[in-house]
Structure 1
């Protein structure tokens, strides 16, 4: 039997099996895959005998597992979700599934039966989190029960079939030291970042998509004192803070009647009323940037967020643009003053073309210069060498530029009685 004919057989048996399923019984079994698989196997056998479809043991097992995985909500993506070496799953229609392993994208040999099956599974994934996706609302941002970030786009927006993007939830939160040992930075830089976090510098982690911003933010958060009240604000909960005094808030999309939406800006405004010591925003990408800067300027030192930008200078420009989106009619000079007085440090992280993720610059923000431009002072900067190692990995060195005499970092270190430790690292 050729592949097209085999797929037609599978579609027929799948449709017939789904048609005779006892929904109440299936719902009972849906949390136990083995029990559900046993029940589905019985039904597949019944359908194949009734319709005189004779299956080999291998094909029988394949179809039973396919239907079981579909009912449980992941379909052929189940084995990718269980593979710890996969960090991202990208579905571009039923026949194109890509995964990221070790920072590199590669095509998987897995497929959906057709776009109808793919769309059904996408809807189940979204429904588990109380969201919906249909022609009236063809775009949805959500997360899976395990915390993985989920984005779904269906027709008529997706032209070549339903698209699913999953950023898998990292079950283990890496420390700065582990990131350093893995090559993302030096141990000296890891110690430096831990000290500026502890001493309540306001930090922005800047980088591109998939560069490791959230991983780094998680690592930084481990150096917040346990006696501080922290409020985290996210579109999809990914941060894994271990401090005892923690309030976690998440945005909400509009419901069926286009009501009940809670935006990131709403969360930031509300967080300011919750007496936080620190506010951590998973990602700043809209008008909430203005409220975030106000929080950093009004006693919430040590607040942190991530931002999509390719360099510290780009991060400053993006912040300015985001504040303009807030609706306040402020001159650019006032916006720049707000940014310069609120943010202390920008940590730039990048995914390099060899698949590695690396902190490429740590820069301190200074005052507005005579030309009306915000001053940026690099502290550490990655300088790649013109050749690669034997594994074709980018290698290079970090150049240390030192701290200025009027550095906020140095002043905070004195206030928190860690100046001596900082001196050991950077010779300040």
Structure 2
């Protein structure tokens, strides 16, 4: 059974004889290829651009298969075997076809004996993709070497971003007890606007319009949700509503945001320390530096540490309309988490930090992934100062998870204020109000 078929039929963890026979034939053909072309020449070709390297080596691979492959092998099987050999020699081996499948969003290798992939928010088993732990190590080195990173016993884990934007995490023994671990998260560029999320039924049209109003009116928004809930996708869609005349500075741990249609975007990415422990540039460093870059908006891919206090201060010092994400399961939990993260950066009582949050953040938009894998833009809550101090949350939009339905609980005050100030026209607001469901 081919890898493509195993992906298609994922859910059955079986090792069929056909797959094992093809694997043995592939290994034999690879050895013959190295003998025919020479190890040094293959290494030279493999350093070239992947597609050109494949084209240069393919005639030699086909010549080897003419001798090594049985005469009964069908043409499509021969072509697939040639592709798998080239994947091993100049690509990423068994992972290559998974990376080329746009429907697959994440790949997880758990040592030589287990691998999974995520499609449509659901995990599927692939069984044993690799023959040995050494083969996984070779693939890891092939992934991270071109971007100047390395992994060894002194530095047994690495986080990196590939040139195509994919995020890679690798962990090796002795930290990884069951063999080398490799996780690759793919970020699709197919979703870049709120309207595309509407088309996917991740939120209704009226809700998308409300969020568009919020971004256009320079509301400071935090997108919160769990891992894999679609926070980055939603943040990217919200960012597409920023007017084209504004200057945007993005700050990320691994650059994932896309601004393909915006003319004035400056992208910054943090950097970990070298193997000598030097050269680290943190998110906090970048947030502080961004304030000197004359930004109209600051977009922080995710706050997870001391940079939180800098982000809040930036929102409080004239950079309205800034956006960020963080891990939290509800609007209330978001406030608690922001408070804890801010205390990493400044030693102040919680009530004072909550005052800072109440003045900095205008709204919290929740991103949610259901058990069936579907992702939704869930609730939307306003953030303001409570009468007695601290934070008051006002629910604007509620989301009912069971039947995936939304309701407008309360119209945000900023809508009416914007109409009075002339930032929104009464006509477009009235049209929006007519499209909204009742609570």
TM-score, normalised to structure 2, is: 0.85
Corresponding residue for residue 425 of structure 1: 432
Q: Is 170-179 or 317-326 further displaced after alignment? A: 170-179
Query: Where does residue 342 of structure 2 map in the other structure?
Result: 323
Q: Cα offset for 1:134?
A: 1.5
Residue number in structure 1 paired with 2:417 = 411
> Which residue of 398, 405, 408 corresponds with 1:400?
408
Per the alignment, in what secondary structure is the counterpart of residue 336 of structure 2?
Answer: helix
Aligned equivalent of 2:245? 227
Does the 8 A contact of 1:234 with 1:283 survive in 2? yes
Instruction: Specify the alignment match of 2:360 in structure 1.
Output: 342
Q: Secondary structure at the match of 2:118?
A: strand
1:314 aligns with one of 333, 350, 361: 333
Range with greater deviation from structure 2 (106-115 or 195-204): 106-115
1:5 Cα deviation after fit: 8.8
Give per-residue Cα distances to partners, 1:295-340, cap 9 Å, x unaligned.
Answer: 00000000001111111111111111111111x2111111001111
SS of 2:147's equivalent in the other structure is coil
- Structure 2 contact 378–399 (Cα < 8 Å) conserved: yes
Tell me, yes or no, if the aligned pair for 2:26 and 2:85 is still in contact at 8 Å. no
Task: Note the C-alpha offset of 1:246.
Answer: 1.0
Inter-CA distance 139–422: structure 2 relative to 1 (3 Å threshold)? farther
What residue number does 1:96 align with? 114
- The match for 2:61 among 19, 25, 41 is 41
- CA contact 1:98–1:107 (8 Å) conserved in 2: yes
> Among residues 372, 375, 378, which one is paired with 2:392 in the alignment?
375
Q: Structure 1 residue 164 and structure 2 residue 182: aligned?
A: yes
CA distance in 2, matches of 1:161, 1:130: 23
TM-superposition CA deviations, 1:102-148 (whole Å, max 9, x none):
11111136711211101110111011222112211111111222111
Alpha-carbon distance between aligned partners in 1 of 2:243 and 2:23, rounded to the nearest angstrom: 57
Q: How does 1:39-118 map to 2 (within 5 A)?
A: 41=61, 55-56=69-70, 65-108=83-126, 111-118=129-136
Say which of 150, 163, 176 aligns to 2:168: 150
User: How does the TM-score come out when normalised to structure 1?
Assistant: 0.87
Alpha-carbon distance change, 34 to 416 in structure 1, aligned in 2, over 3 angstroms: farther
- CA-CA distance at 1:160 after TM superposition: 1.3
- 2: CA distance, partners of 1:409 / 1:290: 28
Indicate how the Cα distance of structure 1 residues 6 and 243 shifts in structure 2: closer, same or farther if over 3 A, else same: closer
Q: Which residue of 1 aligns with 2:8?
A: none
| Structure 1: distance between partners of 2:213 and 2:200 | 20
Q: 1:277 aligns with which of 296, 311, 323?
A: 296
Q: Structure 1 residue 123 and structure 2 residue 137: aligned?
A: no
Moved more, 71-80 or 190-199: 71-80
Superposed displacement of residue 408, structure 1: 4.6
Residues 37 and 65, structure 1, Cα contact 8 Å, conserved in 2: no
More displaced 10-residue stretch of structure 1: 332-341 or 413-422: 413-422
- Per the TM alignment, residue 87 of structure 1 is displaced from its structure 2 partner at its CA by 1.2
Deviations 1:208-253 (A, max 9, x none): 1111111111111111111111100111111111211110111112
Q: Please, which runs of 5 or more residues in structure 2 have no aligned partner?
A: 1-16
Closer/same/farther in 2, CA of residues 383 and 26 from structure 1, 3 Å limit = closer
Q: Are the aligned partners of 1:30 and 1:36 in contact in 2 as well (CA < 8 Å)? A: no
Q: Pick which of 134-143 and 58-67 moved more.
A: 58-67
Q: 1:32 to 1:251 in 2, by over 3 A?
A: same
**Which is worse superposed, 36-45 or 194-203?**
36-45
